[in-house]
A and B are shown apart, each in its own frame.
Chain A
Amino acid sequence: MSGTDDNSRREAALFTTIRDWGITRGEHGVFGGVVEGVGDRIGLDRVPGRIIAVVLFFVTGGLFLALYAAAWALLPDREGRIIIQDFGRGTPNIGALLMIALFAIIGGNSGPGVWFRRGDWGGFPFGIVWGLLSLAVIAGIVVLVVTAVTRRGGPRPPRAPRAPGTPVADPVYAVPPASARATAPTATAPGAAPEEPGDVADAPAPVYVPRPRTPGPGSAIYLLILSAFVFAAAAVWFLDREGTLSVSPVEAWFAVAVVIVGSGIVIAGAAGRRVGFLGFLATTLIVGWVIGLSVFPRILDFADNGVTFTVDGVTHTVGGGHGWYDSSSTGVSCRDFDGNVDVASDAPRIDVSSVATDVTVTSSSAVLSVPRHASLRFESASDVTGTLAFEGRNVTCDLDRADGTLYTTLDTGDVVTVHLTTPHATISVEER
């Protein structure tokens, strides 16, 4: 185009510098294509790039989101368009700008471990620092826009009146750097109309050059994975039938599925193929497991949720849809775990390394880490009073026993005897 050199000179130096980095936002991005663009620049695949982005998102709190918003606004796409520059030129991409603003506001108002304070910035001094940082990001964006508009070579010339019915001309963009031009599609699609007849008249006729493609995993690898899925289902079912599976068969199958999909990715990579749908599958499984294991510790195990205990020779099951138990005569009451259990922050953590072990708790509060599905027998020389919190089972039980013994079963297995020496003890029981 004849006008691009003029526009390149008129562009603010900031944008020229950014273009010279050679990072262009990708065309297949989930949001703005930033991760894809940075990945292309450093030779990182799209899918692992997204995994890294998700990890950074969780690890850094809002900081990654704010940086992503800034990169989305400032990096050019494959055709050289910069969102914030277009905004300054009066041709805004409204949808992208709204998303960028949303990311900036959420990111700026969040910090490590805290998501979107909604006005509560966490107190002095870190909350104030994060709050100021949030304001600084927003102020920086405003300053950037003003600078970008005013540094384009003085005041804008008055616009010539447009005749009615005249189409609005496409905005003219600065020339992308050489690296970006090399990756930008240069061929004209068959049947597509030329953009500007005047330019095409001087240029040679466009030649369609099909871009080479890297094939996906292919039917052989997909069928291989499918067969492994089926074999895994048969194996898990068999183990469950034999009673040797310590978790629910669905849970076990999904764990094996992660290994199978990972193996499929290794095979596809070795064959020089794209990861394709396997990347999406792996990402979904990993995110599902991370959420399942951290946010909802027992999300896939409703079947054996709850706690069973024996008191005065009678067995009761509470939680997990079995209802609750509250008896003044036995001195035991169990309720939904409400998170308000008063375990001291410096409470000792007692790891019960194997089953059938005697453990003595001498402090007023403790975290008791026991093997999964363990059985616990609480004994005390005097009356057993205190609170037992089974967070993973969503159960809290208050004890006020006269005979000093309570037999608690998380599921089945050998018995761990817990000797309580301190009245009014608070014990958080964790399975591992």
Chain B
Amino acid sequence: MTTRIRPVVYRPLSRRITTMLWGLAVVAFGAGVIARLNGYSFDMELLAILTLAVLGAWILVSALVALVRDR
């Protein structure tokens, strides 16, 4: 039996930034939970609107990056 070693490739800068943004979003969520448990209240409707807007911007930037890359 032959063992084949798959080459290791680390992610390019764009994917690293995406992953780090995702991690920061998780950290922000955790910080929000801690604040909530400490008695701070949030306007959940406004938060949902802002989240949707940020998601839209994120996808838009992703689309633009993909467009530039495909050219």
Contact = CB atoms under 8 A, between A and B. Distances in A.
Interface string B19-31: 1111111111111
Nearest to B51: A55
Nearest to A293: B36
B37 interface: yes
A293 B40 CA distance: 13
Contact of A289 (B9, B23, B27, B33): B33
A interface SS class: helix
Nearest to B33: A255
B46 interface: no
Given A41-B66, A369-B41, A372-B39, A266 B20 contact: yes
A258 B6 contact: no
Interface in B1-36: 2, 4-12, 14-31, 33-34, 36
Contact of A265 (B10, B17, B22, B62): B22
What interface size band does chain A fall in? 35 or more
A293 B29 CA distance: 12
A275 B11 CA distance: 11
Nearest to B62: A42
A266 B52 contact: no
B65 interface: yes
B65 A266 contact: no
Contacts of B48: 59
Given A210-B7, A212-B7, A275 B51 contact: no
B55 A269 contact: no
A268 interface: yes
A270 B55 CA distance: 21
A282 B33 CA distance: 14
A432 B6 contact: no
B55 A55 contact: yes
A42 B10 contact: no
A164 B28 CA distance: 65
A177 interface: no
A211 B9 CA distance: 10
A190 interface: yes
A269 B19 contact: yes
A269 B20 contact: yes
Given A210-B6, A247-B37, A251-B37, A263 B11 contact: no
Contacts of B2: 190
A268 B19 contact: yes
B63 interface: yes
A432 B39 contact: yes
B26 A258 contact: yes
B29 to A, nearest CB: 6
A211 B7 CA distance: 7
Contacts of B23: 262-269, 275
Contact of A208 (B4, B5, B19): B4
B41 to A, nearest CB: 4
Interface stretch (A45-53, A90-98, A398-406): A45-53
B37 A47 contact: no
A44 B22 CA distance: 10
A43 B65 contact: yes
Given A214-B11, A262-B25, A274-B11, 20 more contacts: A41-B66, A44-B62, A48-B25, A52-B55, A59-B52, A213-B8, A215-B8, A255-B34, A257-B30, A259-B34, A260-B30, A262-B26, A262-B27, A265-B20, A266-B19, A266-B24, A267-B23, A269-B18, A269-B19, A269-B20
25 contacts: A41-B66, A42-B63, A43-B69, A44-B62, A48-B18, A55-B55, A210-B5, A213-B7, A213-B9, A214-B9, A214-B10, A251-B37, A255-B37, A258-B33, A259-B26, A264-B23, A266-B20, A266-B27, A269-B17, A269-B22, A273-B10, A273-B11, A282-B26, A293-B33, A293-B36
For the complex of A and B, 5 pairs with smallest distance between CB atoms: A269-B19, A262-B26, A258-B30, A265-B23, A272-B10
Interface of B: 2, 4-12, 14-31, 33-34, 36-41, 48, 51-52, 55, 59, 62-63, 65-66, 69
